[in-house]
Amino acid sequence: MERVLITGGAGFIGSHLCERFLAEGYEVLCFDNLLTGDMRNIAHLFRNERFTFFKQNVTNYLHVSGPLYAILHFASPASPIDYQELPIQTLKVGSLGTHNTLGLAKAKGARYLLASTSEVYGDPQVHPQKEDYWGNVNPIGPRGVYDEAKRFAEAMVMAYHHHHQVDTRIVRIFNTFGPRMRRRDGRVVPTFIDQALRGRDLTVFGDGSQTRSFCYVDDMVEGIYRLLLSDYHLPVNLGNPREMSVLEFARKIIALTGRESRIVYHDLPVDDPKVRQPDISLAKKLLGWEPRVSLDEGLRRTIAYFQELIHAEPKG
């Protein structure tokens, strides 16, 4: 039985990955220090004898007994609120955490997959964003701690691949959504859904003309799984190329929730990307992958999840 280690496994995408690898018959080791992860995301997995959780900070020394087939490094704060409140931790998990997990992969002869991000492209001057674009990042701006941590992590992965022959993969994840996102993580999907379900105004930054594209988590996990099993070592974009404005997205959330929320406008944050759209032609060719779940269907599932969360809140 092959064993995989998933860091950040109690987080949003990480917990879905734990489920997927268990479903595929793997033994899963889940590391998470619960800084932004949540035990509720993985509580149902403890019934599976092939699942083991360790409360572990990957910026510290790592030890795993026995063989490992693969390490998937997903530990990191991943939303603007998180990495602005936790700037040092964000930089450390991207640098020290990546170094430690790569060292473990080298020692175990394991495959290694880094969860990178579309944020390595910064506020892009090329649209849509393709893997050979080097990006437009402000290293000392408020988003720099996350952007540069991931850019450094990619450089570290490629150094271990070339210098130590570690069998590596890099996935650049574009906006992903679905159940188990945190209500207050600051990203547009949970923010708008939570505001609408509570009958509050939806807060749009700037004039709402900035664009985003949204990939449902099941599609993202499928792409990540296929990438790990491939033999490709350079970065691969995964995301949904269907682009829409934030204002259009806000109106869609109001319609799907059936609420009568208003839209209000706030100042645009510093270095907020004006456009974000993946070119996934490489993923299509290499992995035979593209998103399957429609935006509306994914949002219905996500809205249902948030309705359950609100319903379960203590009353009074």
Q: Which residues does the annotation mark as catalytic?
A: 146
Two tokens at 121? 């492209």
How many angstroms separate the CA atoms of 9 and 31, rounded?
Answer: 6
Say if CB 226 and CB 72 are below 8 A apart.
no
Cα 138 vs. chain centroid, distance in angstroms? Answer: 21
CA nearest neighbour of 149 among 102, 217, 98, 211: 98
d(CA 136, CA 257): 36
User: CB-based burial of residue 157 (10 Å sphere; 0-12 exposed, 13-18 middle, 19+ buried)?
Assistant: buried
Q: Helix 188-197 crosses helix 295-312 at what angle (to 10 degrees)?
A: 60
Measured at the CA of 60, the angle between CA 158 and CA 78, to 5 degrees, comes to 65
Helix-then-strand count for the chain, H and E: 10, 13
Contact 149, 93 (CB under 8 A): yes
Question: Which DSSP helix (H) or strand (E) runs through 297?
Answer: helix 295-312
> Could you give the C-alpha distances from 6 to 12, 159, 206, 305, in angstroms and in order?
12, 21, 37, 24
Cis bond upstream, residue 128 (ω within 30): yes
Q: H/E element holding 146? A: helix 144-164
